[in-house]
A and B are shown apart, each in its own frame.
Chain A
Amino acid sequence: MAVLLLAEVTSGELAMDATAKAVTASQALGDVTVLCAGASAAAAGEAAAKIDGVAKVLVAEDASLGHRLAEPTAALIVSLAGDYDHIVAPATTDAKNVMPRVAALLDVMVISDATAVIDADTFERPIYAGNAMQTVKSSDAKKVITFRTATFDAAGEGGSASVETIGAAENPGLSEWVEDKVAASDRPELTSAGVVVSGGRGVGSEEDFKIIEALADKLGAAVGASRAAVDSGYAPNDWQVGQTGKVVAPDLYVAVGISGAIQHLAGMKDSKIIVAINKDEEAPIFQVADFGLVADLFSAVPELTEKLG
């Protein structure tokens, strides 16, 4: 059995963590060929070749593949699909944009956000914001799957797979990239960070989010937020953790001024240790917290930041 894995490539660079986790998830399915596609992707291909368990790397460089536009990327994958039984990717927003399109072009269903591989046809995935886990068995000839990265460990780096350069498929020319607004940050990436500190509506303003950021920096953590904090403009959209934001499972997750709605829990309840700081002792977040502190965040968080010194 052969697996084609769409690597996460952003501006020519391989997102190692997400890609290596998807490699781990695919290991039981067969020989893994990693596809690196982009306006420039050669360096990403070199990096992918080093991931343990990768049998082969395909590099497709073409202007049309820049910015991961869904239509040309899906066309490329479909042109390669004949050789593979499983077509997989880490469940990033890029892959969630592309993979259902690939599936429909192949007349198969997509299996989104799989959290476990039971056998070559059978997968587990969360539904209803993680309030139920469903095992589904596919009757399709080819399986198109995205893997939830938070539940798999990254494969190591010690491999030396061969790298082959391939051409792009014809660009359907349906959409054009205009711009990206990406905030540069020195902090670790939210979905791969070992520690995440998140703030909610309780933080009250963009200005006061600095309290959250200071604690995060003390812990070398990524910063997250609830939807309410993002909607209120305290934090940017890419910080949102939850059913419709990012799913994280760090060693330590600190939730500050977050009530613990199921949609938020869906994004963080698999964290190893959860700390909750909330002034309302009835807040549902305390039901999932290993350590809860009932306190005003404006005094407790700066004190915690200081005492962690």
Chain B
Amino acid sequence: MKVLVPVKRVIDYNVKVRVKADGSGVDLANVKMSMNPFDEIAVEEAIRLKEAGKADEVIAVSIGVKQSQETLRTALAMGADRAILVIAADDVHTDIEPLSVAKILAKIVEEEQPGVVLCGKQAIDNDMNATGQMLSALLGWSQGTFASEVDIDGDTAKVTREVDGGLQTLSVKMPAIITVDLRLNEPRYASLPNIMKAKKKPLDEKTAADYGVDVTPRLEIVKTVEPAERAAGIIVGSVDELVEKLKEAGAV
């Protein structure tokens, strides 16, 4: 079985986001970019499937700007076997919406015929939480979202999902789209020798046009602004003072 893992290049989660003064978006020029943290978890899970003998090939895919190559090299260094880069934008600030991403991924799935696609549950930049569900809809496959446990067994997979009320376990038919949550595993770091080896692993370069997908956004970004700031508060000296302040504020 092949495993397909879409990985997205996003602003590193430690970087403080700066909104551009002209309201056009978030400044992504010259900031540290990394693999979306959820996608690292998906890559890790795919590699573990291979190590457990349940998968024989792990393919990482990224859709975006040319620089997404670096993200794919990271996936290869972690242990993916090969990678596909789909160039769909020239400018790092260009928007590629989950619907377009899902359409491109659907074409790749037709070509590669993976047994499972492991996505991150959400990308930490746009926070849409949509791509996996959309891909699943386009393919007519089953979906197991927000997974904190995955057990693939022949024709079905048992997926434990993190939901508002606690945990829900589903049995989904294979092939399936699974989107992974934070507690599924702890991703490994790539070792230096593996980073070197990754440079020689195959990385195919394609464009959105190769797949006949129109990536024109459906959502026009009207403006992007800083969120409202909170007014500065005070430091209280004791529990008694805290209780007093809370009473004054009518909070207790």
Contact = CB atoms under 8 A, between A and B. Distances in A.
B57 interface: no
Given A101-B137, A127-B127, A128-B17, A244 B182 contact: yes
Given A132-B224, A177-B170, A104 B134 contact: yes
Nearest to A173: B173
Nearest to A179: B169
Nearest to B163: A93
Q: Using C-beta atoms within 8 Å of the partner chain, give the interface range for chain A.
A: 35 or more
Interface string B146-167: 1010000000001001111111
A196 interface: no
B145 A251 contact: no
Contacts of B220: 136-139
Contacts of A109: 97-99, 217-219
B173 A175 contact: yes
A172 interface: yes
Interface residues of B, number: 80
A180 B13 contact: no
A175 to B, nearest CB: 4
A175 B172 contact: yes
Given A104-B133, A291-B246, A136 B162 contact: no
A287 B145 CA distance: 34
Interface in B95-130: 97-99, 102, 121-122, 124-130
B234 A291 contact: yes
Nearest to B172: A175
Output the residue of B124, B158, B167, B168 with the most chain A CB within 10 A: B168
Contacts of A303: 239
B219 A127 contact: no
Contacts of A294: 235
Given A109-B218, A110-B130, A237 B239 contact: no
B167 A237 contact: yes
Contacts of B169: 177-181
B182 A227 contact: yes
Nearest to B26: A132
Contact of A103 (B11, B99, B167, B224): B99
A173 B155 CA distance: 14
Contact of B219 (A92, A99, A138): A138
Nearest to A118: B222
Interface stretch (A35-43, A56-64, A69-77, A202-210): A69-77
Given A129-B127, A135-B221, 19 more contacts: A100-B129, A104-B134, A109-B99, A109-B218, A109-B219, A131-B227, A135-B225, A173-B173, A174-B141, A174-B143, A176-B172, A178-B158, A181-B166, A237-B148, A237-B162, A237-B166, A262-B16, A293-B236, A293-B239
